[in-house]
Amino acid sequence: MTVGETHQAIEATFRIERARLVAGLARLVRDIDRAEELAQDALVIALSEWPRTGVPANPGAWLMTTAKRRAIDAIRRDKMRERKHEEIARALDGAAEAIEASMTDDPGDELLGLIFTACHPVLSPDARAALTLRVVGGLTTDEIARAFLSSEATIAQRIVRAKKTIGKAGLSFEAPRGAERAARLSSVLEVIYLIFNEGYAATAGDDLVRPSLCLEAQRLGRVLAGLMPEDAEVFGLLALMEIQASRLPARTGPDGAVVPLTEQNRARWDQLLIRRGLDAMARADALGGDGPYALQAALAACHARARTAADTDWPRIAALYDRLRTVAASPVVDLNRAIAHSMAFGPEAGLRLLDEIAAAAALRNYAPLPAARGDFLFRAGRLAEARRQFEAAAKLTRNAREAAFLLARADACG
């Protein structure tokens, strides 16, 4: 034990333990706010005691026990006040016993339960993302607001409403099992990838990328992989994020401008993350991964393995997209497939595929569609048409950097 711990050090330890602490408490009191209050109470006690006694050998267990004892005390105080109401008293007795019994529960399972609850499909994706970043990621409301270019008030409200919705739905904070787990996992993975994408290809604002959001999503993905080591898609998503994140240092030019994948300086790709991504993909493969995230990871790995853009195995990428659209059909996947086919088999092949999907409602205001068409037309030598497409794309994007890039491509059409 170390004595004389500073408050700063104690708070750092608390931050490490916070998510699991809140998870275990939420399982008991079935209320995130109450769980967060109890966690905070435990921190206050730690701040007053640990400078004297030193940090305990197992700080997480100490905090959990302290917080749970306070929960019991509160229940007993309520019970004494409600002494006349026998039913309530019996129910509260049961709750206190449950808490005592839970002292030995598996903290990993509790954290998984919290993750599944914060990502419950009863909440909108935005609400899930904000709540997950808050209670699982430990980000402050302000940090989340800045990450999503929103106001602190908006995010705070979003989180308050999310907690209320969870309360009203009577969710148990248990991790689902069996078929229900498989069904609900997709909404967890969706949230983590949403957070990652907001950092990787910011949909609005002046900066193309916000790396700290990617880091947060990668961390959540790693935590989830530790909690669900038998799930191929969990490793698939992790692999996808690690490999995509490896390209962050190359995605923006010195002035913050967009650099497309085929023009990136690959010497700037983070090889450590590529290795981690390929390792995660190997785990997904070993688990039989053929789901959408595993396939997208395989796509990202194709690029990661190519020393130069010219070395890219585009036919393999086209084949992977052909498979992806059978497991995760979407207009966006179709668009990316068209791009892959154009790179593998020529711009006319891409244009033919685009014609098949151009009517899709989901792609109506989607900048990458005219951008892709513009690229195919440019490469096919149809410059006037290409220019019109790039200009249309520039109007559709909300990201300033992307718009500048598209207008530059329009100019290059002459």
Partner 1 sequence: MRVMVMVKATEDSEKGAVAPPEMFEAMGRFNEELVNAGVLLAADGLTPSSKGKRVAFDGASRTVIDGPFAETRELVAGFWLWEVKDMDEAVAWVKRCPNPMPGPSEIEIRPLFDMAEFAETLTPEFKEGRERLREKLSDKLGPAGAFGGLGT
Give the Cα separation of 224 and 231 in Å (integer): 10
Interface characters, 89-108, with partner 1 (x: CB under 8 A): -------------------x
User: Considering the rule CB under 8 A, would residue 8 count as an interface residue with partner 1?
Assistant: yes
The verdict on 2 binding partner 1 (CB under 8 A) reads: yes
- Closer of 15 and 90 to partner 1 (Cβ): 15
Distance CA 350, CA 375 (A): 10
CB atoms near residue 47 (< 10 Å):
15
235 lines the binding site for partner 1 (CB under 8 A): no
Query: Residue 203 or residue 265: which is nearer to partner 1 going by CB?
Result: 265
Question: For partner 1, which is the closer residue by CB, 91 or 215?
Answer: 215
Smaller CB separation from partner 1, 71 or 144: 144
Please report whether residue 272 would count as binding partner 1 according to CB under 8 A: yes
Give every CB contact of residue 12 below 8 A, 6+ residues apart in sequence: none
C-alpha distances (whole Å) from 250 to each of 12, 170, 208, 263 are: 32, 46, 12, 9
For partner 1, the closer of residues 313 and 391 by Cβ is 313
Residue type, 325: R
Contacting partner 1 within 186-225 (CB under 8 A) = 215, 218-223
CA 380/CA 387 separation, integer angstroms: 13
DSSP H helices, 54-85, are 59-81
Q: Which is nearer to partner 1, 249 or 331 (CB)?
A: 249
In the complex, the smallest distance separating the C-beta of residue 65 from partner 1, rounded to whole angstroms, is 18
Residue 258, SS3?
strand
Report if residue 307 touches partner 1, rule: CB under 8 A: yes
Find the part of the chain contacting partner 1 (CB under 8 A) among 268-276, 331-339, 374-382, 386-394.
268-276
Verify binding: residue 11, partner 1, rule CB under 8 A. yes
| Minimum CB distance to partner 1 smaller for 101 or for 267 | 267
- Give counts: helices (H), strands (E), the chain: 20, 0
Cβ neighbours of residue 305 under 8 Å, at least 6 residues apart? 313
Neighbours of 385 (CB within 10 A): 15
Binding of residue 16 to partner 1 (CB under 8 A): yes
End-to-end CA distance of the chain: 71
Residue (48 or 265) nearer to partner 1, CB: 265
Contact status: 9 vs partner 1 (CB under 8 A): yes
Give the separation between CA 53 and CA 331, rounded to whole angstroms.
60
387/374 Cα distance (integer angstroms) = 7
Question: Binders of partner 1: how many residues, by CB under 8 A?
Answer: 30
Q: Which is nearer to partner 1, 287 or 407 (CB)?
A: 287
Q: How far apart are CA 57 and CA 395, in angstroms?
A: 58
Q: Residues 6 or more apart from 361 whose CB is under 8 A from it? A: none
State the minimum distance, in angstroms, from the CB of residue 356 to partner 1. Answer: 36
Interface with partner 1 by CB under 8 A: which range of 12-20, 183-191, 351-359, 400-408? 12-20
CB of 326 to partner 1, least distance (A): 32
Task: Work out whether 277 is an interface residue with partner 1 (CB under 8 A).
Answer: no
Task: State yes or no: residue 141 binds partner 1 (CB under 8 A).
Answer: no
* Candidate list 226, 256, 260, 315; residue touching partner 1; CB under 8 A: 226
Each residue 19-58 as x (binds partner 1 by CB under 8 A) or -, in order, gives ------------------------------------x---
Q: Which is nearer to partner 1, 269 or 378 (CB)?
A: 269
Name which of 48 and 271 has its Cβ closer to partner 1. 271
- Using the rule CB under 8 A, is 282 a contact of partner 1? no
Burial class (CB in 10 A: 0-12, 13-18, 19+), 265: exposed
Angle at 252 between CA 251 and CA 257, to 5 degrees: 135
Which amino acid, 277?
Answer: G
269 binding partner 1? (CB under 8 A) = yes
Please report whether residue 227 would count as binding partner 1 according to CB under 8 A: yes
Which residue in the set 145, 189, 274, 284 belongs to the binding site for partner 1 (CB under 8 A)? 274
Neighbours of 283 (CB within 10 A): 20
d(CA 26, CA 107): 12
Q: Are 256 and 401 in contact (CB under 8 A)?
A: yes
Note the residues at the interface with partner 1 (CB under 8 A).
2, 8-9, 11-13, 15-16, 55, 108, 215, 218-223, 226-227, 249, 265-269, 271-272, 274, 276, 307
